[in-house]
């Protein structure tokens, strides 16, 4: 038995004896009865779920012993009996209630513990999966480079007929695509590997992003507007990538007949910042709102809009790193707004 547990039991026994001595020697009536309830309440501090019931039995027993001596100090029998009956009722009401509360609390504790264990298992599995995708994509690059070098050699050969040249071209295109996919998977697995938390000025981060993608902005004749954005705690490299992905997508998925107009907004909500990136582009059907955040999920053929389908998965991972949420609201043909939150208690 643990030392603390022994101390608790000794304490409760001492309180019980003290109350019994007072009960026997003083005519306190109902006041002493209520004090017996106190013994039951002390059961809260014992680990045993049934402790309040055991203490209710002990308190009832003490009440009965006290009753034997009450005649010496009190005169009216009906008062004595009423006091004792009320005491026993109070003891058992409190005892049963406390037992039920302890039972519920124990269940909640058990569920919480199971949840903690599951969460740890999930975290480990997630780390293993990330390690796996890193190793797989990293190691796949090497044989792929060899294939690309040999395909290049084949392309230089003059001995092939036009049919064979067509096949070599297919192989070359597929290997290039595979290189893109593998490097984006590698990039995805590296997100948050060495994050550095610091105070970031989102306005200057945005102007850096706009500067970085200037050629794309010029090519599409895009307009990008943003109000004064906040200074917040976050991971700079990752946040920069997030803004860049969302704005690049907003430009890329614009309507052919309209020049892209993008607005970035922010507002403070409790302990997080809410951002939105709105565009006047092609929009997204509601049924794809979740799917687009999965790895390699695209809604268009590569010849329509270039890309690998990893951009929004990166965004989701970056937002998870910031303990926030990301979602989209859109209507096909009427533009999209991507929302995300950045928690400030990370």
Could you list the residues that contact ligand ADP (CB under 6 A)?
A: 245, 249-250, 253, 279, 281-284, 292, 297-300, 307-313, 336
Q: Give, for 158, the enclosing helix (H) or strand (E).
A: none
Burial class (CB in 10 A: 0-12, 13-18, 19+), 275: buried
Q: How far is the CB of 262 from ligand ADP (least distance, A)?
A: 9
Q: Which residue blocks in the chain are alpha helix, DSSP H?
A: 3-25, 30-42, 51-73, 77-156, 162-190, 202-212, 214-220, 236-252, 311-321
Phi (first) and psi of residue 119, to 5 degrees = -65, -40
Q: From the centroid of its chain, how far is CA 286? A: 24
Q: How far apart are CA 320 and CA 341, in angstroms?
A: 10
Contact 43, 98 (CB under 8 A): yes
Q: How far is the CB of 246 from ligand ADP (least distance, A)?
A: 7
Q: How far is the CB of 103 from ligand ADP (least distance, A)?
A: 49
Judged by CB, which is closer to ligand ADP: 70, or 245?
A: 245
Q: How far is the CB of 314 from ligand ADP (least distance, A)?
A: 8
Q: How far is the CB of 282 from ligand ADP (least distance, A)?
A: 5
Judged by CB, which is closer to ligand ADP: 112, or 174?
A: 174
Judged by CB, which is closer to ligand ADP: 194, or 303?
A: 303
One-character DSSP codes across 273-332: EEEEEEE-SS---GGGTTGGGSTT--SS-TTTS---S-HHHHHHHHHHHTT--EEEEE-T
- Which tokens in the block code for residue 230? 């906040």
Q: How far is the CB of 215 from ligand ADP (least distance, A)?
A: 17
Instruction: Point out the residue whose Cβ comes nearest to ligand ADP.
Output: 307
Judged by CB, which is closer to ligand ADP: 102, or 317?
A: 317
Q: How far is the CB of 268 from ligand ADP (least distance, A)?
A: 25
Q: Which residue has the tokens 């303990």?
A: 323
Q: How far is the CB of 292 from ligand ADP (least distance, A)?
A: 4
Contact 251, 217 (CB under 8 A): yes
What is the number of other CB atoms lying within 10 angstroms of the CB of residue 67? 16
Judged by CB, which is closer to ligand ADP: 82, or 183?
A: 183
Judged by CB, which is closer to ligand ADP: 33, or 307?
A: 307
Phi (first) and psi of residue 160, to 5 degrees = -90, 145
Judged by CB, which is closer to ligand ADP: 248, or 344?
A: 248
Q: How far is the CB of 339 from ligand ADP (least distance, A)?
A: 12
What are 230-233's contacts with CB under 8 Å, separation 24+?
230/202, 230/266, 230/268, 230/273, 231/199, 231/200, 231/201, 231/202, 232/199, 232/200, 232/202, 232/273, 232/342, 232/344, 233/197, 233/198, 233/199, 233/200, 233/344, 233/346
Judged by CB, which is closer to ligand ADP: 94, or 262?
A: 262
Judged by CB, which is closer to ligand ADP: 70, or 254?
A: 254
């Amino acid at each position: 038995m643990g030392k603390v547990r022994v101390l608790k039991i000794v304490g409760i026994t001492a309180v019980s004896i003290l109350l019994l001595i007072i009960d026997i020697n003083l005519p306190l009536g109902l006041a002493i009865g209520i004090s017996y309830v106190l013994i039951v309440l002390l059961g809260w501090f014992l680990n045993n779920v049934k402790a309040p019931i055991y203490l209710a039995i002990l308190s009832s027993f003490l009440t009965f012993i006290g009753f034997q001596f009450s005649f010496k100090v009190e005169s009216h029998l009906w008062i004595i009996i009423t006091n004792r009956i009320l005491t026993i009722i109070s003891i058992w009401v409190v005892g049963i209630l406390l037992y039920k509360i302890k039972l519920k609390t124990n269940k909640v504790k058990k569920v919480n513990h199971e949840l903690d264990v599951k969460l740890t298992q999930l975290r480990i599995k997630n780390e293993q999966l990330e390690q796996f995708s890193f190793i797989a994509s990293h190691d796949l690059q090497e044989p792929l480079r060899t294939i690309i070098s040999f395909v290049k050699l084949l392309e230089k050969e003059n001995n092939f007929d036009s049919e064979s040249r067509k096949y070599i071209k297919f192989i070359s295109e597929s290997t290039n695509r595979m290189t893109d996919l593998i490097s984006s998977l590698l990039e995805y697995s590296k997100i948050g590997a060495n994050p550095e938390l610091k105070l970031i000025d989102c306005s200057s981060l945005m102007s850096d992003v706009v500067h970085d993608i200037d050629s794309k902005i010029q090519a599409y004749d895009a307009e990008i507007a943003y109000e004064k954005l906040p200074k917040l705690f976050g991971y700079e490299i990752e946040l920069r990538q997030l803004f860049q992905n969302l704005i690049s997508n907003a430009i890329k998925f614009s309507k052919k007949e309209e020049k892209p107009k993008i607005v970035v907004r922010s507002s403070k909500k409790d302990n997080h910042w809410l951002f939105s990136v709105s565009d006047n582009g092609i929009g997204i059907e509601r049924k794809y709102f979740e799917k687009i955040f999965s790895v390699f999920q695209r809604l268009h053929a590569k010849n329509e809009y270039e890309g690998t389908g990893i951009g929004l998965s990166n965004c989701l991972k970056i937002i998870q790193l910031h303990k926030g949420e990301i979602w989209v609201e859109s209507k096909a043909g009427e533009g999209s707004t991507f929302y995300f939150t950045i928690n400030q208690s990370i």
